[in-house]
Amino acid sequence: MASQFSLAMVRNIGIAAHIDAGKTTLTERILFYTGRIHRVGEVHEGMATMDFMEEEQQRGITITSAATSVSWRDHVVNIIDTPGHVDFTVEVERSLRVLDGVVAVFCAVAAVQPQSETVWRQADKYGVPRIAFVNKMDRVGANFQNVVASMRERLGANAVPIQLPIGAEADFQGIIDLVTNQAYFYINEEGSEIEERPIPEAMAEEVHEARLALLEAVADVDDHLLEKYLADEPIEDHEVATAVRAATVKGLMVPVTTGSAFRNRGVQFLIDAVVDYLPSPLDVGEAHGTDTRSGEPITREPDDSEPFAGLAFKVQNDPRVNQKLTYVRIYSGVLEKGQSVLNAAKGRQVRVGRLLRMHANKQEDLPRARTGDIIAVIGLNDVATGETLCDAKQPITFEPITFPEPVIWMSVEPRTRADEEKLGNALQRLRDEDPTFQVRYDEETGQTVISGMGELHLEIIINRLLREFRVDARVGTPQVSYRETVERAGHGEGKFVRQSGGRGQYGHVVLDIEPLDEGGVLFEDRTIGGVIPKEYMSSIQAGVIEAAESGVLAGYPLVDVRAAVVDGSYHEVDSSEIAFKVAAAMALKAAAQKAGVKLMEPIMEVEVVTPRDYLGDVIGDLNQRRARIGAMRPSPGDTETLTAYVPLAEMFGYATALRSISQGRATYTMEPARYQEVPASIREELIAGR
């Protein structure tokens, strides 16, 4: 679609928020008002266009990000609707990596919630400009100013209203545009009839103060506007709009809009704001990467005449036709059907099959795609999430996408031999889709073990095995993903020697290890003078990594460690790859034992919203779960919001316990916060249990 438009008229945006803030309902209204669909599908009816997976329709939540494109005021807006549940944060992470702007949706009653904070941190990480939409202004307890204050306090955002709601709750009637200083009232329930009227007299002072605050916020980015403001000269609407856009694109402010997506109010004004204030690919500018051959920093301008370069940010299996879709953001150049491009990560050329414009799960074939496009490609079977695709003659590698480590695991076994044959293939395809889903084979138990971001994440995986891949499996109970790490530097030696007549086995490795802040296992070769031939280094690295995966103390993976080969020896006849692999594993375990090994457990940030009458009981229960109580703050409706940090091991069954404590009136959310050392008493239990 971008080929029909100037690149300045393109917007690549995501819609993101905490679960139940109304993202998908908002997206559905955007599709309706832009003419992309002709009937609104409701989330609660399982009919939302963007929630096309069966699991999404049954549960009423978004599980996977979905892409579409709409036209508005001669602009093309590419939209990615993302999940709000923390278990599917991978979808938000990889979407934000390739988007130019975000609409952050907040519930007018609940204000900033835990996943709101997570999304905000992810957007900060990639420097993505944002617009806020305060949704559900028709709900009981809706408070626009409370949300703005919450954004400033909890997110550190320079949240500046560019709209004000006229009324709230059942009396929510319309919107005041602070840029134009106009009031708009909704006449019908469909939101199609909007009437411009004078600003209500009762709101005159509030509007005056809010517009002054807006002018003060944008004056900092426009010297001319600042001069006019200080001189008390008239300021034109278009001058304010231009300054709001400049401040938003630079990340200096977050314009705040408002409405009720379900009641069809405020949606058109939000789409206007997306077009007016969020950046185009031209505003974002050049994409930074590394020359794949020299390792030097290079850039690509957002221009069709530049060499082709794009990032594969999502892989999806289409079960209807048994095809793999690879979603690509094009940063420069043109991509055509049948073209061969370089996978910079693997150093191999791949051929593009079909190019598709996606509308949820519907596909539109394209002959070519251009700079700024977000498209899906069929035929890239050897391309993974986060890999760069580029012109082979002028290769570039973009920074890959990083993902959090799983915190929970369970065993999975096929029920029949027929299921056994299908299970491995199904798990691999699911792994290709989701970088936070991991699969390994436990040699001690003979079981296949799957890991993920939470109970819901793994539950969805198991259901997809049955529904999409027709694999019936027995699953174990969820278990915590503990980790091992070293306390200090250590030195270890491993020597593997076998002599039994004929050719023997000989491998000798000396390792130095030390703790890392984070990052799995970092392997280095520091040998001097050829004490170990270079052809054995890959085997030594494999031995170190496999030994780390098996753990040293209690069989849990050893992580956050740097392992450097510093010495060793070899035998010209008896040395082999397997001998050095075994010797490396021996050396790692010896070094780790000298360094001291700590057992680490995942800590969850838990937020509980409870009626004040039950607050004491809720805190007492959390304390029994080894919680560290954090902040407490009042919430709407005589409730308290409590933040606590609790080991994941203590949170199984918490939903049932909380319902019992509060008679079903309290709710909670949780997300991974960090790993910390397991207390000595529990550490001994875990070691004994292994």
DSSP string for residues in 637-686: TTEEEEEEEEEGGG-TTHHHHHHHHHTT--EEEEEEEEEEEPPHHHHHHH
Q: How far is the C-alpha of 425 from the C-alpha of 465, rounded, in Å?
A: 10
325 within some domain: yes
Q: Which residue has the higher pLDDT, 133 or 226?
A: 133
In a domain, 501, yes or no: yes
- Rounded distance, CA 17 to CA 82, Å? 8
Q: What is the CATH number of the domain that holds 503?
A: 3.30.230.10
Share of the chain above pLDDT 70, in %: 93
Rounded average pLDDT over 159-177: 97
Question: Are 591 and 604 part of one and the same domain?
Answer: no
Q: Which pLDDT does position 62 carry in this prediction?
A: 56
Q: Is the pLDDT of residue 41 over 60?
A: no
Q: Are residues 292 and 280 in the same domain?
A: no
Q: Check whether residue 152 and residue 253 sit in a common domain.
A: yes
User: Is residue 122 domain-shared with residue 207, that is, in the same domain?
Assistant: yes
| Range(s) of the domain holding residue 430 | 408-476
Please give the C-alpha separations between residue 518 and each of 302, 434, 445, 674, 679, in angstroms, as whole numbers.
Answer: 34, 21, 29, 11, 21
Residue 561 has pLDDT above 60, yes or no: yes
Question: Are residues 498 and 443 located together in one domain of the fold?
Answer: no
Comparing 255-264, 344-353, 438-447, 636-645, the range with the smallest average pLDDT is 438-447
Do 127 and 251 form a contact (C-beta atoms < 8 A)? yes
Whole-number Å distance between alpha carbons of 108 and 429:
39
DSSP percent split of the chain into helix, strand, coil, nearest 5 = 30, 35, 35
Taking the alpha carbons at both ends of the chain, their separation in whole angstroms is 57
Which residue matches tokens 């199984």? 652
State pTM to two decimals.
0.79
Q: Which of 476, 501, 522 is the last residue of a domain?
A: 476
Choose the final residue of a domain: 239, 264, 284. Answer: 284
The span from the CA of 273 to the CA of 158, in Å, is 17
Specify the residue for token string 């001319």. Answer: 224
Number of domains in the chain: 5
Average pLDDT over residues 497-523: 87
- In our burial notation (b when 16+ CB lie closer than 10 A, e otherwise), range 561-580 reads bbbbbbbbebeeebbbeebb
Rounded average pLDDT over 139-156: 95
Query: What pLDDT is recorded for position 42?
Result: 53
Query: Per residue, what are the HEC states of 213-226?
Result: HHHHHHHCCCHHHH
pLDDT tier, 447 (very low <50, low <70, confident <90, very high otherwise): confident
- Pair (161, 239) in one structural domain: yes
- Closest by CA position to 580, among listed 507, 479, 474, 644: 507
Verify that 90 and 222 share a domain, yes or no: yes
Q: Across residues 348-366, what is the average pLDDT?
A: 88
Is residue 58's pLDDT more than 60? no
Q: CA 214 to CA 244: how far, in whole Å?
A: 9
Q: Is residue 403 part of a domain?
A: no
For residue 521 the two structure tokens come to 């296992």
User: What is residue 1's predicted lDDT score, i.e. its pLDDT?
Assistant: 42
**Least confident range of 45-54, 503-512, 522-531, 647-656:** 45-54
pLDDT in tens, 623-661: 999 999 998 988 877 889 999 999 999 988 888 899 899
Structure tokens at 240: 């304010």
- Percent of the chain surpassing pLDDT 90: 61
pLDDT at 511 exceeding the cut of 60: yes
> For 587-600, how does the pLDDT look when each residue is reduced to its tens digit (9 = 90+)?
999 999 999 999 99
Q: Mapping DSSP to helix (H, G, I), strand (E, B) and coil, where does residue 564 land? A: strand
User: What pLDDT does 4 receive?
Assistant: 44
Structure confidence at residue 2 (pLDDT): 43
> Is the per-residue pLDDT at 318 higher than 80?
no
Read off the pLDDT of each residue in 90-108 and give the average, rounded to a whole number.
93
For residue 47, pLDDT beyond 70 = no
pLDDT value of residue 623: 96
Q: What is the mean pLDDT of the chain?
A: 89
474-480: average pLDDT: 87
Domain shared by 581 and 441, yes or no: no
Residues 91 and 136 grouped into a single domain = yes
How far, CA to CA in Å, does 528 sit from each of 480, 494, 565, 566, 569?
42, 18, 10, 8, 11
Do 385 and 450 belong to one domain? Answer: no
Per-residue model confidence (pLDDT) at position 53: 54
Helices marked H in 300-415 — which ranges? none
Q: Is residue 4 part of a domain?
A: no
Q: What is the DSSP string of 156-178?
A: ---EEESEEEES-GGG--EEEET
Place of tokens 């020359």: 291
Q: Which of 130, 136, 77 is nearest to 106 (CA)?
A: 136
Please indicate, yes or no, whether residues 57 and 178 belong to a single structural domain of this protein.
yes
Q: Are 27 and 91 in contact (CB under 8 A)?
A: no
State residue 36's pLDDT score.
81
Report yes or no on 3 lying in a domain. no
Residue 607: CATH number of its domain: 3.30.70.240
Q: Which of 398, 433, 452 is the last residue of a domain?
A: 398
Domain of 22, CATH number, reads 3.40.50.300
Whether residue 141 is found in the same domain as residue 263? yes
Q: Minimal CA–CA distance to 435: which of 469, 463, 400?
A: 400
